[in-house]
Amino acid sequence: MKNKAVSITLAGVAIALLAAYILLRGITEQASRVRTNIVWTFAPADIAAVAISGSAGFLRFENDSQQGWILTSPEGVPYERSIAQALPLMVVNIAAEKKVAGDPKSFPAYGLESPTEITATLIDGAEHTLLLGSLSASGDAGYFSPDGIGVYTMSAAQWAALALDSLNILDKNVLGLNRTMRPSDIAARISNIRVNGESRPDLAGALARVTAGAFLCEGEFAKYGLEDPSYVIEFEIGGVAKALYLGAVADDNEGFYARCSESDYVFTVSRRGFAW
């Protein structure tokens, strides 16, 4: 199944993600104490799915009875589960600071002509949609419209969290390497590197720094030169065998289309560090 190209700014290592998650909890707990500012009345348990469409592409999360909140579109892409689990609480506790406009024709003035759209689908089938606009001129608040009625402001922190503006929801560590370690330490653990069967120990540093630029689709290998890849990079880390397949040069000429041995998902990787 093909999905839109997804490119989300890399937020950094696990410490940054943890800090962002703590911030989200603080925002939603504060909002819970001021119920008069909450724009919707349903509870987290009432939500069956949350879809987010905007500069990050399209993301859909669903509540699975066994696993909790999971990313269902795009399929097969690694993601940060703690942020996914926080989404229903974030959506329920959307709080309005003040109303700035009531006429839908005013929306373009607040960045709502091309908004990030967040749709919460309830268990009973009802849908509620949040249109997320731009930040205010001062940068301390963001504009939004609940169910297309009126324009309000919310705190800049809550705006950024809902837009996934600073959160690495997609895990671009496609080789599954230990990102809490320095790249030099990761490189030291990579061994037995072969490119199309030939030994290439010099590529340890490049492999330690590999992250996805954009996730493109699942399968469709022939379209990206991956049905018969140009380069097959095999290596071992901690006794575990892995492989990175490089297909055609990407359209921007800055990277390769690629996939790894643990997934059928096609993504882009930088050409930097690969000497060919």
Total domains present in the chain: 2
Tokens of 261: 């041995």
Residue with the bigger pLDDT between 193 and 112: it is: 193
Residue with the bigger pLDDT between 170 and 230: it is: 230
Q: How confident is the model at residue 167 (pLDDT cuts 50, 70, 90)?
A: low
Average pLDDT of the residues in 56-69: 86
Q: Is 177 in a helix, a strand, or coil?
A: coil
Residues 140 and 194 in one domain: no
Q: Is 106 in a helix, a strand, or coil?
A: helix
Between 81-92 and 14-32, two packed helices, what is the crossing angle to 10 degrees? 20
Q: How confident is the model at residue 34 (pLDDT cuts 50, 70, 90)?
A: very low
Closest to 42 (Cα-Cα) out of 88, 96, 82, 85: 88
Q: How many CA atoms lie within 13 A of 224 on its CB side?
A: 26
- For residue 48, tell me if it sits in a domain: yes
Residues 143 and 220 in one domain: no
Residue with the bigger pLDDT between 16 and 92: it is: 92
Residues 77 and 209 in one domain: no
- For residue 168, tell me if it sits in a domain: no
Q: Which domain holds residue 157?
A: 2-162
Give yes or no for residue 26 having a pLDDT over 80: no
Lowest mean pLDDT among 44-48, 163-167, 168-172: 163-167
Reported as a single tens digit per residue, the pLDDT across 195-232 is 999 999 999 999 999 998 888 888 889 999 999 999 99
Residues 107 and 61 in one domain: yes
If you search the block for the tokens 């996934």, which residue do you land on?
A: 164
Residues 100 and 206 in one domain: no
Residues 31 and 111 in one domain: yes
Residues 195 and 154 in one domain: no
Residues 154 and 43 in one domain: yes
